[in-house]
Amino acid sequence: MKVLITSGGTTEPIDSVRGISNFATGGLGKLTAECFLEDGHEVILLAGDKAVLPQASQRLTIITIMGTENLYEEMKRCVPLVDVVVHSMAVSDYRPLYMTGLENFPSVLTERDLLNFHPHHAKKISSKSNYQIMLLEKTPKIISFIKTWKPHVLLFGFKLLAGVTEQELIDVAKEKLISTQADFIIANDLEDIKNNQHKAFIVSTDSIERLHTKSEIADKILSVSKTYYS
Amino acid sequence: MKVLITSGGTTEPIDSVRGISNFATGGLGKLTAECFLEDGHEVILLAGDKAVLPQASQRLTIITIMGTENLYEEMKRCVPLVDVVVHSMAVSDYRPLYMTGLENFPSVLTERDLLNFHPHHAKKISSKSNYQIMLLEKTPKIISFIKTWKPHVLLFGFKLLAGVTEQELIDVAKEKLISTQADFIIANDLEDIKNNQHKAFIVSTDSIERLHTKSEIADKILSVSKTYYS
């Protein structure tokens, strides 16, 4: 099999010296890549610039990813080449449109003022204002494009929430199965992730299974993929 | 001598999964630490969580720093213990107060609405809104506290600008000498930093010297410190 794995977090630049980063370490993506490699498969790993990486291998291609636009382009190019996609990267939901001193707005402003504001382009934002406002726009949900690029690819998506009940987690995963056309959603709660402990549910339209560690999740993704293509 | 070096960048959390990071690699801080260690001195290194680090040494203490508040507390504790401070960390000028969907505001709003808004606290911000607004407040300029904590410490500050003329760079460095009470400001332009090439000016009240590489900057900081304490 050929598998595409995304791992770590994206970074959306604010200016030339700072950006908004997602904190994911890439640990699960690394483990999953290692499972597929040890079992003899080919892996393309799209990894955030701070993600932990597997050891080099002739069957492993690593591509460093910065923002969502970069990720979109690389996935569009790579998805048609693979049999399985494991999209475990923490992708920015929002990207900055601008950041500017609050004093650049009138004291009474409208939504239109905010949306139509075009600040003077600064390579590095000055630190003179007491307050800054940032306007952020939603990024495209890249996972929703994957099946349009390759309808029969086996797709594992992820959903991370924080401090919710198990039932909420499962309900949200089931919604995401439909909205993304993923075959499986691995749903996890940030509060249940500590080092190798990594409680999660792997949810499909007709099954829910509880998993407990990163290794268990990685093994499960490999075994489901092998069954699917056997 | 005992020297305190700060390096890398700070990260200010937005919620439990994302934050605003400064991109500095910590390369110059690492080199400066190595110069002082090789010359037999003791080094305390306060480093951002992604900063490159020197090899372990009995005379080296490394403390990992996240945000500006964390940096402030550690510097307040460490500055009285040292003879020299090299404050090369890229410190966030702003930290997020909140990030919330634009629809949570009235369509006409005032500055007071923005400043007094208290969003429902979310552990992880939902991705339902098309636009989000973030309000950020200025962080305290930590460098300005250093001489109040230890008046006679030898202080090297840094000023990074992007795409300015040499004259502007020197003028801003001279202003910063006064506002921070630093003994030296190392002024550099982002566009003149590429791998080991690192053009900079080291500016004091009565001298300006041009430097060209990270090694030259690190060596200069060491030699100035040795002269000062000889």
Question: Could you tell me which chain B residue has the CA closest to the CA of A111?
Answer: B107
Q: What is the mean pLDDT of residues B50-64?
A: 95
Is B121 a residue whose pLDDT tops 70?
no
What confidence tens digit (pLDDT) does each residue in A114-124 have? 888 777 666 67
The CATH class of A2-93+141-228 is: alpha beta
- Which range (A100-114, A150-164, B14-28, B40-54) has the least confidence? A100-114
Interface touch B134/A130, C-beta < 8 Å: no
B20 contacts in chain A (CB < 8 Å) = 14, 18-21
Phi, psi of B45 (to 5 degrees): -115, 115
Pick the residue of A52, A93, A112 with the most B CBs within 10 A to test the interface with B by mutation: A93
Report chain B residues whose CB lies below 8 A from the CB of A125.
93
- Looking at residues B91-106, what average pLDDT do you find? 88
pLDDT band at B163 (very low <50, low <70, confident <90, very high): confident
**Kind of pairing, strands B184-194 and B197-204?**
antiparallel
| Smallest Cα distance from A25 to chain B, Å | 11
Using the predicted structure, report yes or no on whether residue B192 has a pLDDT greater than 90.
no
What is B2-93+140-228's CATH number, 3.60.150.10, 1.10.460.10, 3.40.50.10300, 3.90.550.10? 3.40.50.10300
- Inspect the interface and report whether the beta carbons of B17 and A90 lie closer than 8 Å: yes
Q: Taking CA atoms, what residue in A is nearest to B161?
A: A124
Are the CB atoms for A12 and A95 separated by under 8 Å?
yes
Residue of B nearest to A131 (CA): B137
Query: Which of B50, B94, B113, B169 is the best substitution to test chain A (most A C-beta atoms within 10 A)?
Result: B94
Chain B CB contacts of A9 under 8 Å are: 18
Q: Which residues of A touch B125 (CB under 8 A)?
A: 93
C-alpha to C-alpha distances, A190 to A49, A187, A200, B75, nearest whole angstrom = 21, 10, 10, 31
pLDDT attached to residue B185: 97
B108 CB neighbours in chain A (<8 A) are 108-110
Distance CA B49, CA B85 (A): 20
Minimal CA–CA distance to A204: which of A170, A227, A167? A170
Nearest-CA distance A87 → chain B (Å) = 17
User: Which of residues B192 and A76 earns the better pLDDT score?
Assistant: A76
B219 or A120: whose pLDDT is higher?
B219
What region, left, alpha or beta, does residue A163 occupy, with left being phi > 0 and alpha being psi -120 to 50 degrees? Answer: left
pLDDT at res. B84: 98
- Length of chain A, in residues: 230
To the nearest 10°, report the CA torsion of B178, B183, B186, B187: 10
Element (H, E) at A27: helix A27-38
Q: Chain-wide mean pLDDT for chain A?
A: 92
Residue A85: closest CA among A220, A214, A201, A225: A225
Closest chain B C-alpha to A128 CA, distance in angstroms = 9
ipTM of the complex: 0.86
Does A19 contact B18 at a Cβ distance shorter than 8 Å?
A: no
pLDDT tens-digit map of A185-219: 999 988 888 877 889 999 999 999 999 999 999 99
Q: Is the dihedral of CA B184, B187, B192, B194 positive or negative?
A: positive
User: Which of A18, A23, A130 is closest, CB to CB, to B18?
Assistant: A23
In a 3-state reduction of DSSP, which class is residue A152?
coil
Residue B127 has pLDDT above 80, yes or no: no
**Which residues of chain A lie closer than 8 angstroms to B138, CB-CB?**
127, 129-131
The pLDDT > 70 percentage for chain B reads: 98
Say which residues have a Cβ less than 8 Å from residue B9's Cβ, sequence separation at least 6.
A18, B21, B22, B23, B24, B26, B48, B50, B51, B89, B90, B91, B92
In chain A, which segments carry CATH 3.40.50.10300?
2-93+141-228
Q: In chain B, which residues fall in CATH 3.40.50.10300? A: 2-93+140-228
Cβ neighbours of B41 (radius 10 Å): 20
Residues in chain A within 8 Å Cβ distance of B132: 94, 135-136
pLDDT band (50, 70, 90) for residue B113: confident
